[in-house]
Chain A
């Protein structure tokens, strides 16, 4: 019996030490600048689940030689309903998109059409947690100069790549609600890849239900849009499903890892999609063994030559799509990286 008592006391002591240790480390983490920055980053990611607001959001996405800008009026009701109503560019003016969980309802007012699509990645908590874990592994959040955005005081965080020391992203977080009010993404050479910021913002819980109504208005046709697949982390199974032996890159920017994949039939072509990410940035490598090249349609491609390949590329804002063929496979590499960075990855896609 005394032995049992001693064991119980020992276990209690251990539990007490563990509890005190954990709370101390948490306290230390939140008091050091880096700990506070990490805590702020986590809170900013969760903020849209907790605060409702209306505002005006401006986004500029920069290509290598031009930029695309959009202005949307945004209404968000926590945790997962958002309406984005386009004010600019003129071609999109009046169109709006309602997001409810993983479903998107895209209202095209010019063609009186509602396109319904689903993207399970939008509300996948597991995927979000995995991404957050990669962010904390590959990036160091650093507190930067505070600023006033949309009339509200913010705390600014710079996310530095731990391997290269490059500044990859900067966010301005509302000091009170922790909502991200401004975000800038940077290329490896320091140039701004995109900027998103609130121009107006008002927190409110009084957004009428009608704002998020998804029923098609009278005279509108409802059509089925694209149902995006939830990529699987079981890469071996995905590759088996693809039905051919893929080639994967031998060289990736530091911090990037193969995180998921998906095998899909598009236009009768079995296509493998491999997703690489470092938490903040992503690369998609598509390949097929059917000889199906990319159809650039109205996006005129540029020609680029590397390693005996005549490749083609197009830019969509900071996103570049590079296509080429190798050993009977057709490849498409997409990423928010500089073109030469993508070419370096493409060069390493060899057997």
Chain B
């Protein structure tokens, strides 16, 4: 090593790019050579100035914008295809399949693919028999009340059309008297 350190050597020292042995020699020399020490400090301040200038030129998202971006990412729903794909991952698919088999086993006997009886039939029959009670408001108001009660779902017409309880208009209400 010469009496004074070169600029290239000082820069490599600053960037911690020297081999350990050379790094140790430079370190010792800077402790004893005032001129090299001054040169080192000039190089160090210049490097710091360059870093600061580079940092100032970096553009960051405002924190609010960044928060919204992250929120969108977290709330983003996977596409239907991705969801189906996720379902078929073995860890999910196997328990789901098992649950489905179990549900079919339980519900199977209760499933009602056959005939059903309209709830409105039960309500109307009950209301008709209530007409026997002496203080019941007479007349067919009850069936109208049934229709009225369904008005929230805008289905009064549908219910009125169900007077045949879901079967042919000829009627299969075959009363046995």
Contacts and interface: CB of A to CB of B under 8 A. Distances in A.
Interface stretch (A18-26, A206-214, A248-256, A283-291): A283-291
A70 B131 contact: no
Interface residues of A, number: 95
A279 B137 contact: no
Contacts of B123: 316, 319, 321, 334
Interface in B103-138: 110, 112, 114-135, 137-138
A263 interface: yes
Contacts of A72: 141
A223 B169 contact: yes
Interface stretch (B54-62, B85-93, B152-160): B152-160
A27 to B, nearest CB: 25
Interface in A161-198: 169, 171, 180, 183, 196
B158 A264 contact: no
A271 to B, nearest CB: 7
B119 A299 contact: yes
B115 A268 contact: yes
B163 to A, nearest CB: 6
Interface string A206-235: 000000000000000001111111111000
Contacts of A291: 112, 114
A271 B118 CA distance: 12
A314 B135 CA distance: 25
Interface string B131-175: 111110111110111111111010111111011011101011111
Interface of B: 110, 112, 114-135, 137-141, 143-151, 153, 155-160, 162-163, 165-167, 169, 171-177
Contacts of A45: 134-135
Given A127-B132, A226-B124, A282-B129, 5 more contacts: A95-B144, A267-B166, A284-B125, A300-B153, A316-B123
Nearest to A275: B129
B155 A298 contact: yes
B163 A104 contact: no
23 contacts: A45-B134, A63-B149, A89-B151, A92-B156, A121-B131, A121-B132, A122-B138, A131-B132, A226-B124, A266-B117, A266-B172, A267-B166, A269-B117, A279-B134, A284-B125, A284-B126, A290-B115, A297-B155, A299-B120, A301-B119, A317-B149, A323-B119, A325-B110
Nearest to A310: B110
Nearest to A102: B131
Contact of A298 (B116, B158, B167, B176): B158
A91 B126 contact: no
A131 B134 contact: yes
A135 B134 CA distance: 9
Contacts of A293: 110, 112, 116-117
A196 B139 CA distance: 14
